Amino acid sequence: MANHKQALKRHRQSVQAHVRNIHYKSMVRTFVKKALAQQATPEAPAAVAAFRKAESVVMHAAAKGVIPRKRASRKVARLARRLHQTA
């Protein structure tokens, strides 16, 4: 464990960031799964709404630096492609 004041603070900050990142990553997975589940059903408006919410959550996580921007863009593109294939 660190002994210097700054190192102790940095450790506290990293623990907080870790918890926050886990929360965002979990949200991303949840909303992507919900969007994929909605795409399996024949109701188009619900699938579009679920896609928009998933896109919002994914891009928000990227803006916060939780996931890389290119990964977020790739996730959204793949979701959109699947949405348009089923439509």
Q: CATH number of the domain that 10 lies in? A: 1.20.58.110
Q: Would you call 40 exposed, middle or buried from its count of C-beta atoms within 10 A (0-12, 13-18, 19+)?
A: exposed
pTM (predicted TM-score): 0.85
Backbone angles phi, psi at 67, to 5 degrees: -125, 155
**pLDDT tens per residue, range 13-47:** 999 999 999 999 999 999 999 999 998 887 889 99
- Write down the pLDDT at residue 26: 97
Host domain of residue 49:
5-86
If one counts the domains in the chain, the total is 1
